[in-house]
Amino acid sequence: MKNILQVNGLNVWDSRSGEAIVKDVSFSLKEHSCLALVGESGSGKSMTCKAIMGLNRPWISCSGRVEFDGQELLTLPQQKLRSLCGNRLCMILQDGMSAFDPSCVIGQHFRETLKEHFGWTAQQADERMVESMLTVMLKNPAGLLKKYPHQLSGGMLQRAMIALALVLEPDIIIADEPTTALDTITQFEVMEQFTALQKRTSSAMIFVSHDLGVVNRLADSVVVMKNGSVVEFGPLPDIFEHPQQEYTRYLVSTRQALGTRFRQVLGGNEPC
Ligand SMILES: Nc1ncnc2c1ncn2[C@@H]1O[C@H](COP(=O)(O)OP(=O)(O)OP(=O)(O)O)[C@@H](O)[C@H]1O
């Protein structure tokens, strides 16, 4: 399988203070495969994802290479990048609220996106979104389409984004695990939906997760990050069974123990 995305020597820094955030990060993503970004809080996982999509705040600068299907993303003009991101790259943000325009109902957001992407009418867009929202366990989807983002919970907004990704079926889905915005049970349910999303689409996926049980089930390869740098990158079995670095060994052992506990608390008995 060929690489659909190649990240080489990615650096991200805060241009106001000069503080380095992501340092010389390199990894690749194969077509139709699933790559997990793991590492402690603040290690630069979200900033790496946002840099790939050109979604970082204006004061955040990047250097290096991010090659998607032969195109260099970091130097692509904003307009071209926006259109690529709407069509072939799709990011499910950690904070669901920031993905939607607060001044319009979520159905309007979906209609505009699907009109631009497929040329669908409002009715066609609504029909497909209702169908897709049901598959991610959103109740009364027709009613939800008429709601403003602030009327939905963080978990519901995440699911709504997953439902849209299911319809768009982009080449790459980048999914940042919900952490702070959601309670533990909702986090677990949303991660289940990410799992389903990967199975149902032929998209390649990069996902950020703190739960190595989920990583074990979903990922083909893993990038381990610490303090903005890549500690280890490789196929899942290598990272889980033969970690080369001390930090990876530590992460795998502690997180697996936590994952097991997490499932026990939730009443599940699936092994990590
Ligand atoms: N908008 C911003 N401006 C400046 N620095 C930022 C901004 N957002 C994040 N950072 C810094 O970048 C670093 C990496 O943050 P990032 O959100 O990528 O970590 P993470 O690994 O995704 O953490 P978590 O697992 O908690 O989401 C942090 O030290 C943070 O302070």
ipTM of the complex: 0.95
Burial degree of 98 (CB within 10 A; 0-12, 13-18, 19+): exposed
The alpha carbon dihedral of 181, 161, 163, 169 has a sign of negative
**120 Rama sector, left if φ>0, alpha if ψ -120 to 50, beta otherwise:** beta
**Ligand 1 atom with the shortest distance to the CA of 228:** 14
State in Å: Cα 61 to ligand 1 middle. 13
Query: Ligand 1 centre from 48 Cα, in Å?
Result: 9
Residue type, 16: R
Pairing type for strands 229-235 and 221-226 reads: antiparallel
Ligand 1 first shell, C-beta below 6 A:
14, 21, 39, 41-47, 57, 60, 179
CA of 25 to the centre of ligand 1 (A): 15
Mutate to test the pocket of ligand 1, among 17, 45, 94, 224 (most ligand atoms within 8 A of CB): 45
d(CA 200, CA 218): 12
Report the C-alpha gap between 212 and 251 in whole angstroms: 9
pLDDT tens across 39-97, in order? 988 999 999 999 998 888 899 999 999 999 889 999 988 888 877 776 788 888 777 77
Ligand 1 atom 30: residue of nearest CA: 42
Q: How far is the CA of 44 from the centre of ligand 1 (A)?
A: 6
pTM over 0.90: no
26 residue type, one letter: S
The 8-class DSSP code of residue 40 comes to S
CA 93 to centroid of ligand 1, rounded, Å: 13
CA dist., res. 9 & res. 51, Å (int): 12
What atom of ligand 1 comes closest to residue 49's alpha carbon? Answer: 18
Residue 272: band (very low, low, confident or very high) from pLDDT cuts 50, 70, 90: very low
Atom of ligand 1 nearest to the CA of 43: 21
**Atom 16 of ligand 1 has which residue's CA nearest to it?**
44
Helices 106-118 and 122-135: crossing angle in degrees, nearest 10, is 110
CA distance 1 to 13: 33
CATH number of 3-266: 3.40.50.300
pLDDT band at residue 257 using 50, 70 and 90 as cut-offs: low
Residue 46 alpha carbon to ligand 1 centre in Å: 7
Alpha-carbon torsion (127, 133, 137, 143), positive or negative: negative
Three-class secondary structure of residue 110 per DSSP? helix
Q: Residues 190-199: what's their mean pLDDT?
A: 74
Domain boundaries, the chain: 3-266
- CA nearest neighbour of 224 among 242, 191, 247: 247
